[in-house]
Amino acid sequence: MNEVAIVKEGWLHKRGEYIKTWRPRYFLLKTDGTFIGYKERPQDVDQLETPLNNFSVAQCQLMKTERPKPNTFIIRCLQWTTVIERTFHVDTPEEREEWTKAIQAVADSLKKQEEEMMDFRSGSPSDNSGAEEMEVSIIKPKHKVTMNEFEYLKLLGKGTFGKVILVKEKATGRYYAMKILKKEVIVAKDEVAHTLTENRVLQNSRHPFLTALKYSFQTHDRLCFVMEYANGGELFFHLSRERVFSEDRARFYGAEIVSALDYLHSEKNVVYRDLKLENLMLDKDGHIKITDFGLCKEGIKDGATMKTFCGTPEYLAPEVLEDNDYGRAVDWWGLGVVMYEMMCGRLPFYNQDHEKLFELILSEEIKFPRTLSPEAKSLLSGLLKKDPKESLYHHLSHRLHQRLTQDILMKNLQHR
């Protein structure tokens, strides 16, 4: 294998994807297609730190433009499994020409290498390679489960990738929610990685406030997740009907969410990254069930960080918006947002224009209703700190678990 070498390096101005400001980044372009950016010029190229920006120029498309600034160029490329566009500008047309030529040369070289490798493969690659990846990755139950083992009672929800149906297992009479996903749509929408992540997290997690996975199996064109049915309904529905919850009720739910997040963080090294009202259900006894694990990030130990911009706009933490590395604290920011919604009946920051929304999240001071108690204001202020280093999240378990009701304390929290 050829040694990876640096083809070109230097300063570029990169435009923020969501906050449209220009930021200087020192980029390295390598022969393997890696295109990585740093805040400062690396001192030792043989011992590089983790970059702020990490793209691949393999199969990329390049476009030159004079807007929004002169000497701008746009790269349409891959970041993990997702196709993205990133915008850069330099000071002169000559610099832009040098960068675009170098990037195109690396992309062409990689394409040629791929074509040469194809000559050595027996047969041609399948059109549904993503589906094949799912075939080998889905963990099968001890006995072969099929769709014929369930009665299909009613549609619970429908989305881009498939649907969720209330089913009854014929052998036991137990009710479950079956999520049925179309393989071809998952592949077409670049959702293979998220789907496999959700399956792994569900398979490996057992906690009373996380939705449990009973089975996962597949047909030739579908993936099926048979999950615990939380028949208490969506927390969003209950809050919409009642407008606000009492502070005690909000703390009750908050404590259960803390318990679940602490389990994911401490025992599973998983960051959830998508905490919002729509992902919170209630079981028949009124206890929290967190659902939808597609945006989870695995392998994140205490102090480790991530870079990927993901989540729901209204719930994004400031450090995510600023293109900074971020850690587990993003989940506690999300908790702050949902607890604010429960106690105040609205989001802490909102604007229909996402760019204006992000500016509010980054710079606007949080405002509280006059009816909120000093204790509640203190709790929410601690969770919604702009700087994650100042967040209350280090002390969350102790602070919130003090307010657990006797019902929670007596609830059987043994693994099911």
Instruction: Look up residue 414 and give its amino acid.
Output: Q
Which long-range contacts does 372-381 make (Cβ < 8 Å, 24+ apart)?
372/247, 372/343, 372/344, 373/247, 375/247, 376/247, 376/250, 376/343, 379/339, 380/336, 380/339, 380/340, 380/343, 380/348
Task: Report the side by side order of strands in the sheet with 213-218.
Answer: 150-158, 162-169, 175-182, 222-228, 213-218
User: Which entry of 44, 190, 262, 274 is annotated as an active-site residue?
Assistant: 274
DSSP 182-235: EHHHHHHTT-HHHHHHHHHHHHH---TTBPPEEEEEE-SSEEEEEEE--TTEEH
DSSP annotation string for 28-51: EEETTSEEEEESS--S-TTSPPPP
The verdict on whether 274 is a catalytic residue reads yes
Task: Answer for the pair 169, 146: CB distance below 8 angstroms, yes or no.
Answer: no
- Residue 189 annotated as binding? yes
In what helix (H) or strand (E) does residue 262 lie, and over which residues does it extend?
helix 247-268
Q: Which residue has the tokens 């992000």?
A: 358
The CB density around residue 63, as the number of other CB atoms within 10 Å, is 12
Tokens at residue 96, please?
Answer: 């832009």
Exposed / middle / buried, residue 223 (Cβ in 10 Å: 0-12, 13-18, 19+): buried
> How deeply is 377 buried, as exposed, middle or buried, from its count of CB atoms within 10 A (0-12, 13-18, 19+)?
middle
**Binding site for ATP: what residues are annotated?**
189
- Just list the catalytic residues: 274
